[in-house]
Amino acid sequence: MFRLESKIDVKGSEFLKNREDYLRILAEFKETLSKVRRGGPPQSVARHKERGKLLARERIDLLVDRNTPFIELSTLAAFGLYENEFPAAGIITGIGVIHGKETMIIANDATVKGGTYVKETIKKHVRAQEIAMENHLPCVYLVDSGGVFLPEQANVFPDKYDFGRFFFNQARLSSKGIPQIAVVMGSCTAGGAYVPAMSDETIIVRNQGTIFIGGPPLVKAATGEEVTAEELGGAEVHTTISGVADHLAEDDTHAIRICRNIFESIRRNEYQPMDVIPSEEPYYDAEELYGILPIDLKKPVDSREIIARIVDGSKFHEFKERYAPTLVTGFAHIMGFPVGILANNGVLFSETSLKAAHFIQLCTSRSIPLLFLQNITGFIVGKEYEHRGIARDGAKFVHAVANANVPKFTVIFGGSFGAGNYAMAGRAYEPRLLFMYPNSKISVMGGEQAANVLITVKEDQLRAQGKALLPEEREKMLQTILKKYEVEGSAYYSTARLWDDGIIDPVDTRKILGLSIAISRNRNYEKTQYGVFRM
Ligand code: COA
């Protein structure tokens, strides 16, 4: 493969100014991350430690193999919601390596409202199980939770993907031969009791872990029986009398050691065959991304400049370079793994869509994972393009993406607007993982376009009634809509609601994608079957 030639002047003022601005955005992101990683309020953290318990992140550190990476997902879930009383939505999820096996880890943070579940906590837990299913990853549940956050019950209990989905997923995962291991390190009350009860193997910590369908207050109210939590469902009870748990641990560290020992008897999956080559660092420094990435989304960025700072040796075998240039397509390697890349370089036209569908077919026929680098305003609009059938050609692109059965990964490095989001493997198109950069934006269209549409609709309505929109009313409407789109379009707003799997530092993209592809090999890629392409 040939090496990409960068045209960026890394000493030029434009680059340096962009870099300075980007570093400011990044510093704000990192500060937010570090605040969230502290967990619940200091007094809750102190109380947790006084009880001799490890914090959720400390438990994960002990569980995974030394010097192996942990891909944490959706760290900023619930950010800006519930008056920020649910940092990380009270649950830590991510992929780590235990005895050489890539594993999904789901750990309650009991310092956050007793580890209880609000809507975003549930979304995060269910999403982690979905990733485990797609990639055939064993699951470890580090349980320390008061169950449903009761004031929010209507948002967490009854619907299809609510609290009950955890146990449904555990049953389905187990039936696919995907190991389910629970470590009970605190409370498992009511529905929460099913997490350990539905696991293949369960460990419980003495004088600390409890499992019961109804806690002591409920038992007293229901039957008048007075019983302590320990007598009702403590570690002694469950490892000697009920058999709900299989292993007794003396403390958190011991429990984690037992969990690691369980992994010694878990078989490693056969990997999807793939031509993996020795990894090579990009020729161009990834840190240069800070000077290149768009801050003002109106600024065009040649996506080859991004690719050059992510892929091995900055080498890229471009496909149809001269045709439909607003979408860059081509083959590369990331950490030695082959990948087919689609990267936006402008608006999507009919011919762009045809090129994309063709390229996706190439990748699926060669079992090569797909990487979508999104910076997209959408499909072209206008009479000329509608007449030429932009909807029909766009549909081919969307159809190819929807049916491509190789793993898809999506990184939003700029804007993600309109149907462009769909075609470029937005959330609805089931990329295995989807990440955003801190400055990226996502919404149905840009704020200005949305404001113009809504103002035009309003003006038409008023005109039909013989009235007109006053200039000050127009201005007020414009500003309100712009503000709303600004807030709701931000990566923070998206990640708080689990529309993505997390915001990442651009410099980490290569490492995260390499690991993501490595993980995807745990399940063999299914054959792709396309339906009817409208010609
Ligand atoms: N719903 C809403 N809030 C809850 C809660 C629940 N199920 N369980 C705990 N909380 C809140 C507490 O009100 C407290 O909030 P605050 O910090 O704003 O005062 C915080 O979580 C910590 O609870 P606390 O009891 O002080 O902590 P703890 O570590 O001593 O005990 C539990 C944690 C989870 C063991 C205990 O709170 C408990 O038993 N909760 C009830 C569990 C239950 O019955 N759940 C059924 C729902 S399915």
Give the sign of the dihedral formed by CA 435, CA 119, CA 211, CA 42. Answer: positive
Pocket of ligand 1 (CB under 6 A): 110, 113-114, 116, 146-150, 187, 189-191, 215
Instruction: Select from 498, 510, 511 the least CA-distant residue to 81.
Output: 498
372-391 CB burial, b ≥16 within 10 A, e <16: bbbbbbbbbeeeebeeeebe
| β-pair partners for 271 | none
Distance 208 CA to ligand 1 centre (A): 15
Closest atom, ligand 1, to C-alpha of 214: 44
The residue whose CA has the least distance to atom 13 of ligand 1 is 113
**Alpha-helical regions (H) of 369-446:** 383-387, 390-403, 418-423
- CA-nearest residue, atom 42 of ligand 1: 146
Which element (helix H / strand E) includes 436?
A: strand 433-436
In whole angstroms, what is the distance from residue 94 CA to residue 214 CA?
30
Distance 8 CA to ligand 1 centre (A): 55
pLDDT for residue 81: 98
pLDDT score recorded for residue 398: 97
Give percent of the chain with pLDDT exceeding 90: 96
- φ and ψ at residue 286, rounded to 5 degrees: -60, -30
Atom 24 (ligand 1) nearest CA:
114
Residue to mutate (ligand 1; options 125, 144, 189; most atoms within 8 A of CB): 189
Ligand 1 atom closest to Cα of residue 191: 48
Beta strands in 222-292 (DSSP E): 247-249
Q: 154 C-alpha vs ligand 1 centroid, how far in Å? A: 18
Measured by CA distance, the residue closest to atom 27 of ligand 1 is 114
Q: Specify whether the CB–CB gap between 103 and 519 falls below 8 A.
A: no
Instruction: Find the mean pLDDT for residues 149-159.
Output: 94
Q: Which of 48, 150, 152, 213 to mutate to test the pocket of ligand 1 (most atoms within 8 A of CB)?
A: 150
DSSP line for 200-250: SEEEEETTT-EEESS-HHHHHHHH-----HHHHHBHHIIIIIS-S-SEEES
Note whether 124 and 498 are within 8 A (CB): yes
What's the CA-to-centroid distance between 114 and ligand 1, angstroms? 5
**Residues 6+ positions from 531 with CB-CB distance below 8 Å:** 399, 403
Nearest residue CA, atom 9 of ligand 1? 114
State the number of CA atoms in the 13 A half-sphere of 446 facing the CB. Answer: 13
Gap from CA of 159 to ligand 1 centroid (Å)? 23
Complete DSSP assignment for 340-382 = EEEEE-S-B-HHHHHHHHHHHHHHHHTT--EEEEEEE--B--S
Work out the angle at residue 385's Cα, subtended by the Cα atoms of residues 384 and 387, and round it to the nearest 5 degrees: 70
Give tens-digit pLDDT for 489-519: 999 999 999 999 999 999 999 999 999 999 9
The helix or strand, by DSSP H or E, that contains position 281, with its residue range, turns out to be none
Return d(Cα 86, Cα 96) in angstroms, integer: 23
pLDDT for the residue 269: 86
- 110 Cα–ligand 1 center, Å: 9
**Both tokens of residue 532?**
């009817």
What's the gap between Cα 397 and its chain centre? 23
Say how far apart CA 55 and CA 177 lie, in whole Å.
30
DSSP H helical segments within 265-330, as ranges?
289-292, 303-307
- Taking CA atoms only, the protein residue closest to ligand 1 atom 30 is 114
145 CA distance to ligand 1 middle (Å):
8
Ramachandran region, residue 338 (left: φ > 0; alpha: ψ -120 to 50; beta: rest): beta
Minimum-distance ligand 1 atom for the alpha carbon of 163: 48
- Round to whole Å and give the CA distance between 364 and 474: 50
Position in ligand 1 atom list of the atom nearest CA 218: 44
Backbone torsions φ then ψ of 503, nearest 5 degrees: -95, 140
Residue nearest to atom 34 of ligand 1 (CA): 146
- What is the per-residue pLDDT across 2-23, written as a single tens digit (0 to 9) for each? 999 999 999 999 999 999 999 9
pLDDT value at 298 more than 90: no
Q: CA-CA distance, 233 to 158, in Å (whole number)?
A: 26
Best residue among 49, 109, 113, 205 to mutate for probing ligand 1, ranked by most atoms within 8 Å of CB: 113
Beta-sheet strands, E only, within 69-200 = 71-73, 91-98, 101-108, 139-145, 180-189
Q: How confident is the model at residue 179 (pLDDT cuts 50, 70, 90)?
A: very high
Residues in the chain: 535
Would you say residue 192 has pLDDT above 90? no
Amino acid at 265: S
Residue that wins the pLDDT comparison between 529 and 298: 529
Structure tokens at 219: 């038992």
Read off the pLDDT of each residue in 126-131 and give the average, rounded to a whole number.
98
pLDDT at 104 over 90: yes
The whole-number pLDDT of residue 268 equals 87
Contact predicate 368/339, CB 8 Å? yes
| pLDDT for the residue numbered 446 | 87
Nearest to 312 by CA among 292, 286, 340, 283: 283
Rounded to whole angstroms, how far apart are CA atoms 117 and 104? 19
The pLDDT value given to residue 190: 83
Strand (E) or helix (H) holding 406: none
What number is the average pLDDT over the span 275-295? 97
In this predicted model, what pLDDT tens digit does every residue of 21-55 receive, in sequence order? Answer: 999 999 999 999 999 999 999 999 999 999 999 99
Read off the pLDDT of residues 115-127 as tens digits, 9 standing for 90 and up: 999 999 999 999 9
Residues contacting 451, CB < 8 A, separation 6+: 477, 478, 481, 482, 485
